[in-house]
Amino acid sequence: MLALGKLLELTLAGREPAQKIQLTADGVRLRWLSEGALEVTPAQGQDDGLDLLLSAGIHGNETAPIELLDRLLQSIARAEIKPRARILFLFGNPGAMRTGARFVEEDLNRLFNGRHESSSGPEALRACELEHLAQAFFNAPDRTRLHYDLHTAIRGSKIEQFALYPYKEGRVHSRRELARLHAAGMAAVLLQNKPSIVFSAYTYDQLGAEAFTLELGKARPFGQNAGVNVERLERRLKQIIESTEPSLADASLEDLQLFSVAREVIKHSEAFILHLPADVENFSELSKGYLLAEDAGNTRWTIEEKGARIIFPNPKVKNGLRAGMIIEPATLKGIDQSVE
């Protein structure tokens, strides 16, 4: 296998490869760009016009997605997968990956869409670098752009695998992409309704990609991910890469659960209290009238929405950041219905 196929090994060791460019026996080019970043270019005449960004390790302790990308890249390096798409593999936070921590100094996935400009430290520098790498990769005109940012969650979830679909004013969510997510094993999709500062929101908003944050299960250390089933996603990614994906024209979304964000719970001070058990699961239902959280200045979050659920509750975030999202059921109304 080509040495560049061992990008994960290089990244965890903090080593730079001696050879920056290698070719497989089939003429597929692997090019090392920087730490944790590698570009794959199809053999001459085999490019079908898709630019696919696959990122993982934005949080260093979320290892199942990192291992998934490692398997895909090694298969390409062995010429077992024959790409017909350009691919950018990104391991987001090498420093945190090496220590098995979520981050080094601050949450990398809260530093995109320019947020890194008002911060400092290793994550701010890395967010800036990742934006530049994505921008350079998605620079060619008249090509399809797709970004999957792969994660696992801090806590358990009543819906284990789900996706977050970013928002941009004037842009419509795509039924075709929802069908693709469903085929890849996502049981639910959260349709966001305001701009965000996560990586997938940057590539969606600023670079015109169809972009998603995928949550695949609970975070575990390297080598302990047998309980995270990514078989459907891995199969679909191979099909996307090789341009063998089955048609989505007749795909049903009948059992795909859709949600939208009703409100974000923002922590304003150290007086913030979240009235939920420490082990509460994502998608837990909240009854109408329930006092969810309190903060200084008599700030209170009381549930008003029918069918409300909580997602990403985390009272330990820094002041000014989101400590949870109140979500509610959504429909396909307003979705672009075209599939091809």
CA 43 to chain centre: 28
Angstrom distance (rounded) from CA 34 to CA 7: 10
Secondary structure of 257-320 as H, E, C letters: EEEEEEEEEECCCCCCEECCCCCCCECEECCCCCEEEEECCCEEEECCCCCCEEECCCCCCCCC
Residue 62 is assigned to a ligand binding site = yes
Residue 177 is assigned to a ligand binding site = no
Among 316, 304, 237, 236, which Cα is nearest to 276's? 316
**What's the alpha-carbon Rg for the chain, to the nearest Å?**
20
Give the position of tokens 């670098």. 129
Q: What single-letter DSSP state applies at residue 198?
A: S
Longest dimension (CA), the chain: 66
Torsion sign, CA atoms 106, 111, 115, 119: positive
Which SS3 state, helix, strand or coil, does residue 216 take?
Answer: strand
Burial class of residue 320, CB neighbours in 10 A (0-12, 13-18, 19+): exposed
170 φ/ψ angles, rounded to the nearest 5 degrees: 85, -5
Residue 116 is assigned to a ligand binding site = no
Catalytic sites, residue numbers = 215
CA distances for 36 relative to 11, 138, 144, 217, 338, angstroms: 5, 18, 24, 23, 36
Give the position of tokens 């296998």. 1
User: Taking the CA of residue 144 as centre, how many other CA atoms within 13 Å lie in the half-sphere pointing to its CB?
Assistant: 13
Q: Which helix (H) or strand (E) holds 29?
A: strand 29-34
Which residues participate in the annotated binding site?
A: 59, 62, 151
Which residues participate in the annotated binding site for Zn(2+)?
A: 59, 62, 151
